[in-house]
Amino acid sequence: MGVEDIYAGVEGGGTHSTTMLFSGSGKLLSTVGGDSTNHFQIGIEETAKRIRGMVKDGLKEANLDENTKLAGLGLALSGMVFSEVQEKMQDGLFKLDPNLTAVTKACSDTHGTLATATEDGGVVLIAGTGSNGLLLNADGTEHNCGGWGHMMGDEGGAWWIANRAVKLYFDVTDNLVQPEADISLLEELIFSHFQIKDRFGMLHHLYEEFSKSKFAGLTKRLAQAAENGDKICLSLFYNAGAALGKHLKALAPSVNRSMLEQPGGLKVVCVGSVWKSWKLLKQGFVDVISATPELTEITLLDLKVGSAAGAAYIGADAAGYRLPRDYSNNVTGFFNYKK
């Protein structure tokens, strides 16, 4: 294993996947895309075929012989949480093509995200359609908070924000609660997004054609209204920020002390479209963090590169080689809090 070898990482999602190839010197050789590699959707066998296809495409893109055997391959895949499934994935890829790679290491997509940002441990805090928090300590121990889906939580995610907005509208119009501000704009946004003429039109979207992603799409409109000063929408995002802060609060007692004492404190990698509205989330988030004694310092990070890079680091590490990396090129810090 060394600078002459080729390493690859796969970032696998439910709709799209990305594969990155690196030389042993750490130079990015190629980046190629592909379809879903979530085994829950397509099975282990089909996932292995798609990964193999992307690796071959990546080799071609890098002007390398497509039969080149990788020294290490990291797979950071959506749904790849349990060790027995990870082993099945590794075995399935080997059975499909024993000459594809010398070593394969499968892990969850959140592990790939964190590996892209730091090798000293930290937290991945996801706020996309749903929400999830994963703590990976420097000593290798793991803890999670959330990630149980919209029926059990997803607090702070786009689905949750939109659901609370629609619920508030229904509660106010049913006279169950008194609004803290005028809901006229909220009604306009809901009716426009779902293309309905009255609130009874929502029954179609709640039953016949319920779509979590359709609900989540409303959140972008709510964010625009909040940026323009609508009090109802500002409150929705304040509460979303607080909900995301509570994920960190829940994980705080399990964080290794050394990770809080490093420069910048605890590293928190923020993933998902809701974080684009950080200025709307900030106050609610900070109010929770400031009241959490264990969190003496944190730094929020945003990835500048795909987490396929972190997957490649994981694959190289599994092969016994430390692929050269510069984390300052991979992430940017957008917020620091220190007590």
pLDDT at 2 over 80: no
pLDDT of residue 129: 86
pLDDT of residue 153: 84
pLDDT of residue 14: 75
Residues sharing a CB contact under 8 Å with residue 271, sequence separation 6 or more, in sequence order: 113, 124, 125, 126, 127, 128, 303
Per-residue pLDDT tens digits for 128-177: 888 989 999 999 899 999 988 889 989 999 999 999 999 999 999 999 99
Backbone phi, psi, residue 159, to 5°: -60, -45
pLDDT at 293 over 70: yes
Confidence class for position 239, pLDDT limits 50, 70, 90: very high
Measured between alpha carbons, how far is 119 from 250 in angstroms, rounded to an integer? 22
Q: Name the average pLDDT for the chain.
A: 94
pLDDT of residue 157: 95
Q: What percent of the chain has pLDDT over 90?
A: 86
Burial tier of 82 (Cβ tally within 10 Å: 0-12, 13-18, 19+) = exposed
- Which is more confidently placed, 33 or 15? 33
pLDDT of residue 40: 86
Measured between alpha carbons, how far is 132 from 154 in angstroms, rounded to an integer? 7
Q: What would the two tokens of residue 11 be?
A: 């970032």
pTM score of the predicted model: 0.87
**Integer angstrom CA distances of residue 23 from 56, 90, 117, 258, 306:** 15, 22, 19, 33, 17
Q: In the block, which residue shows the tokens 């809080």?
A: 260
Per-residue pLDDT tens digits for 251-282: 999 999 999 999 999 999 999 899 999 999 99
Confidence class for position 195, pLDDT limits 50, 70, 90: very high
Measured between alpha carbons, how far is 118 from 125 in angstroms, rounded to an integer? 14
